[in-house]
């Protein structure tokens, strides 16, 4: 992609005089053009959350905090026609207070809240891995994913940026963004360990995913256009057994 194409979508930004960027475009210019973006999986969901088969007797999932309904697999709803937005326009508290699916009416982001519980008799460590299962038309380049665990401030994940080109990450331009962690690699978003999950312990997770219009890679021009792109992710849980 040309330099001009890459900087096309740095959006609605820089109201602080202390922040200087050479090229700025008005937010919303990409919204209509990128209306074709979707998340994979009419039947599979855009987020597939599973417990490893060998771990099903020890940990379980639910969309209900009281675990009236449990399952070793959860599927978040698919949303198509995604439009670019930014973190400061997402109602994170609404998502965190809504069990199960939350999709904004304007189709600008996906939200999903679920619970993990230790139903076994032993305290265990659990591996939690989030992966990119499918991607089309470079949507992963400008997608953002935030995971909230219980009452924490959340961790924001994005793909590694080419700082040699821009000299900054766009998150540095905005106050109020959570700390950013780059994807572990092209296929794995994160790989973390839940330590000492005791019997009957419950962890609440809220997941939000969006196309960020502030990202220079959010473009509808050139060979790396994200029009008609798509993205599907998955989270898996597995009890770590002692060797």
* pLDDT at residue 175, as a whole number: 52
| DSSP three-state, residue 94 | helix
SS3 118: strand
User: How far is Cα of residue 120 from the mean position of the Cα atoms in its chain?
Assistant: 29
102 confidence band (pLDDT: 50, 70, 90):
confident
Average pLDDT over residues 46-64: 93
DSSP assignment, residue 212?
Answer: B
Per-residue pLDDT, averaged over 75-91, amounts to 86
Q: Distance (Å, rounded) from C-alpha 6 to C-alpha 222?
A: 9
The predicted pLDDT at position 78 comes to: 82
- Provide the pLDDT confidence category of residue 170 given band limits of 50, 70 and 90: low
CA pair distance 113, 93, nearest whole angstrom? 11
The tokens for 213 are: 């219009």
What totals of helices (H) and strands (E) does the chain contain, helices first? Answer: 3, 14
Which tokens is 95 given?
Answer: 């998502």
Please report which confidence band the pLDDT of residue 67 belongs to, taking 50, 70 and 90 as the band edges: very high
Residue reference for tokens 């978003």: 189
Query: In this model, does residue 229 exceed pLDDT 80?
Result: yes
Distance, CA of 51 to CA of 235 (rounded, Å): 9
* DSSP E strand stretches across 47-185: 47-51, 59-62, 73-76, 80-82, 100-103, 109-118, 124-136, 143-149, 155-158, 180-182
Asked whether the predicted pLDDT for residue 196 surpasses 80, the reply is yes
Q: Look at residue 45 and tell me whether its pLDDT is greater than 60.
A: no
Please provide the average confidence, as pLDDT, over all residues in the chain. 79
Weakest-pLDDT range from 6-10, 13-17, 117-121, 190-194: 13-17
* pLDDT at residue 169, rounded to an integer: 54
Higher-scoring residue by pLDDT: 184, 33: 184
CB of 234 closer than 8 Å to CB of 21 = no
CA neighbor of 122 nearest in space, from 68, 205, 201: 201
pLDDT average, residue stretch 44-73 = 90
């Amino acid at each position: 992609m040309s330099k001009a194409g890459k900087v096309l979508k740095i959006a609605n930004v820089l109201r602080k005089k202390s922040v200087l960027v050479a090229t700025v475009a008005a937010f919303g210019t990409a919204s209509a053009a990128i209306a074709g973006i979707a998340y994979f999986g009419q039947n599979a969901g855009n987020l597939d959350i599973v417990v490893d088969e060998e771990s099903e007797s020890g940990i379980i999932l639910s969309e209900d905090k009281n675990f009236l309904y449990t399952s070793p697999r959860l599927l978040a709803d698919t949303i198509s026609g995604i439009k670019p937005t930014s973190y400061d326009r997402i109602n994170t508290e609404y998502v965190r207070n809504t069990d199960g699916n939350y999709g904004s009416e304007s189709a600008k982001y996906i939200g999903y809240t679920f619970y993990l519980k230790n139903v076994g008799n032993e305290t265990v460590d659990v591996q939690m891995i989030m992966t990119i299962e499918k991607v089309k038309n470079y949507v992963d380049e400008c997608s953002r994913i935030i995971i909230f665990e219980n009452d924490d401030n959340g961790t924001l994940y994005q793909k590694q940026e080419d700082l040699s080109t821009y000299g900054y990450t766009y998150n540095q331009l905005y106050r109020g963004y959570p700390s950013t962690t780059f994807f572990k690699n092209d296929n794995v978003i994160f790989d973390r360990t839940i330590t000492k999950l005791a019997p009957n312990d419950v962890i609440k997770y809220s997941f939000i995913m969006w196309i960020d219009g502030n990202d220079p890679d959010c473009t509808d021009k050139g060979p790396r256009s994200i029009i008609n792109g798509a993205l599907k992710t998955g989270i898996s849980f597995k009890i770590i057994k002692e060797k």
